[in-house]
Chains A and B, each alone.
Chain A
Amino acid sequence: MITAERKPMAEIKAMLAPYRKILVVGCGTCVAECASGGEKEVGLLASALRMDAQMEGRTIEVQEMTIDRQCVYEFIDKLTEVADRYDVILSLGCGAGVQAVAEVFPKMFIVPALNTTFIGETKEPGLWVENCRACGDCKLGYFAGICPVTRCAKGLFNGPCGGSKNGVCEVDPDSPCAWQLIVERLDSAGRNDLLEAIYPPADWSRQQGKGPRKIVREDQRSES
């Protein structure tokens, strides 16, 4: 999933300062799973904004709405009837959601409530870890299911650096050394060929070659 964290209240307040009627829009998919932008978080943030305004003697109007996906137009469409009654949309979507909503409502001012952080997994309740950089050229088949691009602090393709000690990365003692894990798993899988192989330079053009990437699938386009 795409993970995100809520911005500090002071930053959100500063961005909303010129506006009185606020539509707070959550997203029911990734950011709901990582407990930063779902219906519950929308409720909490809206209440906080109302309470804050009350304490400071300001009058604001805050409406809450959570749609299933902020990155898909047919769901965003649910805001159509409502949006133009507000001065600003405060989006609790990821960066893709915020931009898709902005695209649909070109005249509305839109403000993000979250910092989109990474593609990751729910490791345990309350712990999310990054494990994919969307490089566009998945190499997990060579590295026993552990991504060195994402999980090695230096993104090394050919083995651990000199800072791997007791299974831990020198950069962050709370992170396992990705290469320790890769070596152990390749070893137990009997894949010495992959342990000894020299992996060539990556093709980063698949990640950032010509600006924003597109996927075009003609087989999916016929109906529209």
Chain B
Amino acid sequence: MKAESNLKNVLTLNNFAVTAECGPPKGADPGAIQKKGNILKGYVDSVNVTDNQTGVVRLSSMAACTILKQEGLDPVLQMVTRDRNRIALQSDVLGASSLGIRNILCLSGDHQSFGNQRQAKGVFDIDSIQLIQAVRRMRDEGLIIGGEALSEPPQLFIGAVANPFADPFDYRVVRLGKKVAAGAEFIQTQCVYNLKRFKEWMRQVRERGLDKKVYILGGVTPLKSARMAEYMSTQVAGMDVPDDIISRMKGVDPKDQRREGIAIAVETIMALKYMEGVHGVHIMAIEWEDVVPQIVEEAGLYPRPETPEE
């Protein structure tokens, strides 16, 4: 399996990339993944599969990525350090590559106390930056942590996340620099609602020249309702939904709020598209994957570029 990452191809050919997120089901049903995959197929360059997000047990990211691959999509395997030690993580990196998965996104993961297994032991043997470094070394040098050689290195396009809306703000770009130095090749950010803060973060990113070293995909999550906007603003840590977005959602009739949420998402994508140093968008339509084609079309990002296969 020598096929390249489609996402990598799209980005290296200087296209504005579009990725989306697919949350696996809370059960062993492959059909749920296939259905989401087929909605997204053709409208996005790659699809991220979350790894037991918010600490809730779901069908594994590895299995879901394999199903998406079979459906002809380019999956991004999300891998968190919360649940697996370095033995299991490195083993799964090899496993993913052997199954033809070509993208990995390294995260620490939501703390287990948020999920449905609150008595679980959080592993956190290594952190996300150490995982990035380990995967990069496995791929480029064929060595695992500790220096032992692999019989065959994994082939993976290596990603990480950044949250420009968390604190301490001025350290956020330093941390991004560490992720890049560790070996990250693409970055997907937390959902952008506060464009002002995102612009300031991007200014710092450019100041350090990081936009020339890593592909940055801005995160976009369409709001379903004013209530969702308020919930995300107050209840979801690391999320920054400014008051003007909330009042804009509140200002429209509840039956039109989805439409307004889509409009905000499209406007955000347009703003990101013309922002220097931003190389794409990552659309996280939470349990609303079927809205993605519409958003991609309205943002003028359809059709997606054809990239050479095999």
Task: Report A's interface with B, CB cutoff 8 A.
Answer: 153-167, 170-171, 177, 179-180, 183-184, 195-196, 198-202, 204
Q: Which residues of A contact B126 (CB under 8 A)?
A: 201-202
Query: A205 to nearest B CB, angstroms?
Result: 11
Q: Let me know if B111 and A153 touch, CB within 8 A.
A: yes
Determine whether the beta carbon of B171 is less than 8 Å from that of A160.
Answer: yes
Count of residues in B whose CB is under 8 Å from the partner chain: 36
Cβ of B288 within 8 Å of any chain A Cβ, yes or no, is no
Q: Is there contact, CB below 8 Å, between B82 and A165?
A: no
B201 contacts chain A at the CB level, 8 A cutoff: no
Most A CB contacts (10 A, CB to CB) among B130, B145, B171, B190 go to B171
Q: Please choose the segment from B149-157, B161-169, B243-251 that sits at the chain A interface, where 4 or more of its residues have CB less than 8 A away.
A: B161-169
**When the two chains form the complex, which single residue of B167, B175, B190 contacts A177, counting CB atoms closer than 8 Å?**
B167
Q: Please state if B161 and A162 are interface contacts (CB–CB under 8 Å).
A: yes
A158 touches B175 (CB 8 A): yes
Question: Complex: how many Å from CA A164 to CA B170?
Answer: 13
Task: Mark the stretch among B32-40, B177-185, B269-277, B294-302 that contacts chain A.
Answer: B177-185
- What is the distance, in angstroms, from B115's C-beta to the closest C-beta of chain A? 12
**B237 and A158 within 8 A (CB):** no
Select which of A155, A158, A164, A202 is within 8 A of B168 by beta carbon.
A164
A-B contact pairs, 19 of them (CB 8 A): A153-B111, A154-B82, A155-B124, A156-B108, A157-B130, A158-B175, A159-B129, A160-B168, A160-B175, A162-B163, A163-B111, A163-B238, A164-B167, A164-B168, A165-B237, A180-B168, A183-B168, A198-B130, A201-B130
Q: Tally A-B pairs: CB < 8 A.
A: 102
Query: For the complex, what is the distance from the CA of A162 to the CA of B126, rounded to whole Å?
Result: 17
Q: Which 4 pairs from chain A and chain B are nearest by CB?
A: A162-B163, A170-B237, A158-B129, A162-B238
Kindly state whether residue B125 has any CB partner on chain A within 8 Å: yes
Residue A171 contacts which of B113, B163, B182 (CB distance < 8 angstroms)?
B113
Q: Is the CB of A162 within 8 A of B130?
A: no
Could you say which of A157, A161, A177 has the most chain B C-beta atoms within 10 Å of its C-beta?
A: A161
B127, B190, B238: the one contacting A154 at CB < 8 Å is B127
Complex Cα gap A157–B133 (Å)? 13
Cross-chain contact B111 with A170 (CB below 8 angstroms): yes
A153–B126 Cα gap in the complex (Å)?
Answer: 13
B181 touches A198 (CB 8 A): yes
Contact partners of B113 in chain A: CB under 8 A: 153, 171
8 Å CB contact of A159 from B111, B161, B174: B174
